A and B are shown apart, each in its own frame.
Chain A
Amino acid sequence: DAGVTQSPTHLIKTRGQHVTLRCSPISGHKSVSWYQQVLGQGPQFIFQYYEKEERGRGNFPDRFSARQFPNYSSELNVNALLLGDSALYLCASSLYPDRVSEAFFGQGTRLTVV
């Protein structure tokens, strides 16, 4: 059974551009969360989705948005990229949103903004 898969694995973008990151959860998992991990720090929560509805949002600007599709996969979109958006973006999936200890993380998308 495949784990959480994220694409692309690496990405280089220019300041001001837009980026879309994708996440496919473990089969059967209905909840997806997104985290940003800046080099040398712990992951920081961005969004959580469950059954296509936003369940939670972290302290990130409106340039960050996400959605979840009927097959439970998810996209994270970031507009007007800044240098400070360079980070590893992690997706985690779980059966339900409150089953945090049962969440599995993907390998992440490494975004570099130049």
Chain B
Amino acid sequence: GESVGLHLPTLSVQEGDNSIINCAYSNSASDYFIWYKQESGKGPQFIIDIRSNMDKRQGQRVTVLLNKTVKHLSLQIAATQPGDSAVYFCAENPPFPGNTPLVFGKGTRLSVIA
């Protein structure tokens, strides 16, 4: 992944509001895109994924949108709850024969205000 500074972008939302977290990816040939949630002291936790032949996928309270034209991915969280506070990463799965299974984005810290 890209080298970034120590400070993650932060998104603060009121409890109950919707959150939108954005991500730019690098490889237009990537086949899979995944959103992870990482809480303090824990490893990344899978939230939702989307294949490159789709532009939208919905899960429970979450929706992922994929815009291949501008290489942009977004994660929408409906009715954000305090338990959603975490760092969110997007990741892409570059095509074979590349040897890197996942390339992670820069991360966004979501803070939910009760």
Chain A interfacial residues counted at CB < 8 A? 27
Contacts of A27 in B (CB 8 A): none
A41 touches B46 (CB 8 A): no
State which of B8, B99, B104 has its C-beta within 8 Å of the C-beta of A44: B104
Chain B residue with the shortest CB-CB distance to A58: B100
Chain B interfacial residues counted at CB < 8 A? 29
Interface centre among B8, B99, B106 (most CB of A within 10 A): B99
State which of B42, B45, B102, B107 has its C-beta within 8 Å of the C-beta of A45: B102
Chain B residue with the shortest CB-CB distance to A102: B46
Interface centre among A42, A55, A107, A108 (most CB of B within 10 A): A42
Contacts of B99 in A (CB 8 A): 48, 55-58
Is A114 on the interface with B (CB-CB < 8 A)? no
Contacts of A41 in B (CB 8 A): 1, 3-4, 106-107
Interface centre among A4, A39, A40 (most CB of B within 10 A): A40
B100 touches A105 (CB 8 A): no
**C-alpha gap A90/B6 in the complex (Å):** 19
- B27-71 near A? 1/0 per residue, CB < 8 Å: 000001010000001111110010000000000000000000000
Is B103 on the interface with A (CB-CB < 8 A)? yes
Chain A residue with the shortest CB-CB distance to B104: A42
A101 touches B46 (CB 8 A): yes
| A40-B43 contact, Cβ under 8 Å, with A45-B103, A100-B34 | no
B101 touches A106 (CB 8 A): no
Closest Cβ of chain A to B17, distance in Å, is 25
Closest Cβ of chain A to B46, distance in Å, is 7
Contacts of B106 in A (CB 8 A): 41-42
Contacts of B32 in A (CB 8 A): 100-101
Interface residue ranges, B against A (CB under 8 Å) = 1, 3-8, 32, 34, 41-46, 49, 89, 91, 93, 96, 99-107
What are 10 sample pairs from A and B whose C-beta atoms fall under 8 A apart?
A: A41-B1, A42-B106, A43-B89, A43-B104, A45-B100, A45-B103, A90-B43, A101-B34, A101-B46, A106-B43
